[in-house]
A and B are shown apart, each in its own frame.
Chain A
Amino acid sequence: MISTQAKDSIERIFYKAAQSRLPREAGDSCEIVTIPQDALDAAPEARVVVLTISSILFRLLLILQFKDDAGTRDYFVKDVADNSFQEIFSEVANLCCGAMNQELLNYFPDLGMSTPYLLSARCVSHLQQLNPGFLASYKLTLNHAAQVTATVCVCAHAPIDFVADLSAVEESSGELELF
């Protein structure tokens, strides 16, 4: 149902969103490698942030798992006193999914995005029950310190075929601007 070029476009949209929204500082590196589904960490205590983008034709799930280690905590939580670790991850995941939503709006005019929700990482292994047309997982390393695992799952209700043109230069990274 999802054409090869549409799958490639979704992957490129995810790459662009992750590389523009996950690094906390401009210039931080963001390495992304594809990993198999069974390589996901499903420790009993591990949590993932789930977000959904819905359209008439499909729904896209973006699932981000932030590794609960010192390197990842230090990278994301520094300079933030009040928010909890999970709240910050939810906010970062929300920004990343928002960037994907913004890009997809160029090809699908009717889209809506959910708020983030935390689930056990063990839920990710059951994504096949949603009968996805596209399912891929990635390991992201930010600034050689923080590690994030991402899963993109697209369930289509109709044939999807589009080619994303990501050549446009992004003007804003989405952070708050104070005047």
Chain B
Amino acid sequence: MIEQYLVAALSSSAVTAVAALTLHKLRSARTIARHHAETGTQVEAFEHDAARQRESIERAEQERQALETLNLDLREELAQQSDLLAETRVTLKAAVDDKDQWAYQAKKIADEAARLKSLAATFERWHEQMISLMTQNQDMHEKNQELSSIVRHVVIVSLNASIEAARAGSAGRGFAVVASEVRALATRSEELSKSYRDSLHKNDLTTTTTFQDIQAGGKMITASLGSVEALANQFQSKLH
């Protein structure tokens, strides 16, 4: 009986144990299945994330390459701009040097024009020499006038001599010839004196007009130099 009880107990224990084992296995299977499912989900999520990250990495790589290209372009452009800037600096420096040179030249022209304006004094000096020449001409006019007066007197004296020779009759014939010759000489002297007077007047006119031309020409040159000086000064002030 006891044995039956024991067998029954053992049997029931075994059944219970089998049931428990079966239940345990079922539960384990469910748990494993659930774990499998969860793991699969997680794997899918990981794979999805990995795919997204790969895409991100690819995009980042593309962006990096694009940035490198851009960087390269920018470096090239910077180099070009640097070269251009250097050229511009050289050009600017040359322009500044040229400007300074032009300003210097303009100042030199203005100074030279101002200096040459003093030529007016030279022209005036020449003109003053005309006064000296004209004074000498005037002296010659007066001497010629005196000569003309003497010649006129000689003509009168020779006429008187001719009259006296005629009164003396045959004795005065020789003297009449001499008186006639003196009158002829006086007449020639008178003509010569008139011709000399005309020459002096021509000389007066030529001297005066020539020296006036020099004086007026000097003023013309001085005025022109004044214009050059003013223009050079204007140019110089614009350059500064």
The 8 Å CB contact of B220, one of A54, A61, A117, is: A54
Residues of the A chain whose Cβ atoms lie less than 8 Å from the Cβ of B222: 112
| A129 and B215 form a contact (CB under 8 A) | no
| A119 and B216 form a contact (CB under 8 A) | no
B137 to chain A, nearest CB (A): 10
A51 to chain B, nearest CB (A): 7
> How big is chain A's contact interface, by range?
20 to 34
Residues of the B chain whose Cβ atoms lie less than 8 Å from the Cβ of A124: 205
Interface of B is mostly: helix
Best-surrounded residue of B215, B216, B221 (most CB of chain A within 10 A):
B216
> How big is chain B's contact interface, by range?
20 to 34
The 8 Å CB contact of A129, one of B202, B212, B217, is: B202
Flag whether A176 is at the interface (Cβ < 8 A).
no
For the complex, what is the distance from the CA of A120 to the CA of B199, rounded to whole Å? 13
The 8 Å CB contact of B204, one of A61, A113, A123, A130, is: A123
Flag whether A173 is at the interface (Cβ < 8 A).
no
| A117 and B208 form a contact (CB under 8 A) | yes
A40 to chain B, nearest CB (A): 13
B: residues with CB less than 8 A from A are 127, 130, 134, 141, 197-198, 201-202, 204-206, 208-209, 212-213, 215-224
Given contacts A54-B213, A54-B217, 4 further A-B contacts (CB under 8 A): A52-B216, A54-B216, A111-B216, A114-B219
Closest 6 CB pairs of A and B: A112-B220, A112-B219, A54-B216, A52-B212, A114-B212, A112-B216
